[in-house]
Amino acid sequence: MTPTPLRAWVRALLRHATSGVPVDQATRRPVSEAHLSHIEGDIEALIWALGYVWSMRAEYLLSRIHPAASCVLLLLGLPVAAEVLIPHLTWYGLPQHQFGFPEESLRGLAKLAVYIVVTTLVASTTPGSLRRRVFGASVFPFLSLLALFASVAAHRLVDGIAVTDDLSCAAVLLHGLSVGGIVASALVVPTALLYRSTATGIAVLAILPAIAKSAWDDAPRLDTISDLLVFACPFIWSLIVIVLATNLCQRYLRLPPPE
């Protein structure tokens, strides 16, 4: 049967994407074209091909990252985690004695220990080669920082568009869905490309500082069930969207295996 123009363009896209890449990735062309032939709809084939090409190019770029660059990112991630992310999780704005760290040096060692444990956990769960694992661990603090900024920006944007004191269930759900969708959209693509099968867990871990910061900022107002629902709803929706979107990337787009 003669392929449709759209299907022919999709096949040409796959051929073009595999040109100029290393041999080990170029050998995936027969496999990708064979898989493409089993997809019936042209629109579904186009979506799958775009996701496949994008992820393959991302893997190609990841394979070319020098280990020294990952080491630099690891060093830069330490002050980001110690001064911006970790304080929101433990003693952000709180007296030192409440956590048993009377000296700044002990608090610094505790921050370093948390950073090492988290980056080691991320590296051990990142699929692929050792170089890819180290890079995945080195960029994790910046993904968490991205989630923090996205949460603040989403709250300001949504609150600025819909300034209301309406605490009805529909209004709270709509507000939470809007904020959660913005936060999740900032994390889904990078986590899906970098962490693949563990993307959901890594994204949830990355969003924890944003949750903790909001909890501290809203602590004086969390007096009723309604206040707690308004606070928790955006992050509940963030988790829901992250789970659904990462499953979509993994199952529907059928990303190629990491190098």
Query: For the segment 210-252, what is each residue's pLDDT rounded down to a tens digit?
Result: 887 776 666 556 667 777 777 788 888 888 888 888 887 776 6
Integer Cα distance of 90 and 113 in angstroms: 13
Give tens-digit pLDDT for 102-122.
556 666 777 788 889 999 999
Check: CB of residue 125 under 8 Å from CB of residue 202: yes
Structure tokens at 243: 């789970």
Q: Residues near 37 by Cβ (< 8 Å), separated by ≥ 6?
A: none
Integer Cα distance of 188 and 98 in angstroms: 36
Considering only CA atoms, give the Rg of the chain: 22
Integer Cα distance of 115 and 118 in angstroms: 5
Q: Residues near 141 by Cβ (< 8 Å), separated by ≥ 6?
A: 77, 78, 80, 81, 85, 115, 119
Question: Which of 166, 150, 145 lies closest to 87, judged by CA?
Answer: 145
- Positive/negative CA dihedral, 224, 225, 227, 232: positive
**Residue 118 CA neighbour count, 13 Å, CB half:** 27
pLDDT in tens, the chain (259 residues): 567 887 788 777 777 766 655 545 544 555 566 667 777 777 777 777 777 777 777 777 777 788 888 889 988 998 888 888 876 655 444 444 444 555 566 667 777 888 899 999 999 998 888 888 899 999 999 999 999 899 888 888 887 776 555 556 777 778 788 888 888 888 888 888 888 888 888 988 888 888 877 766 665 566 677 777 777 888 888 888 888 888 877 766 556 566 6
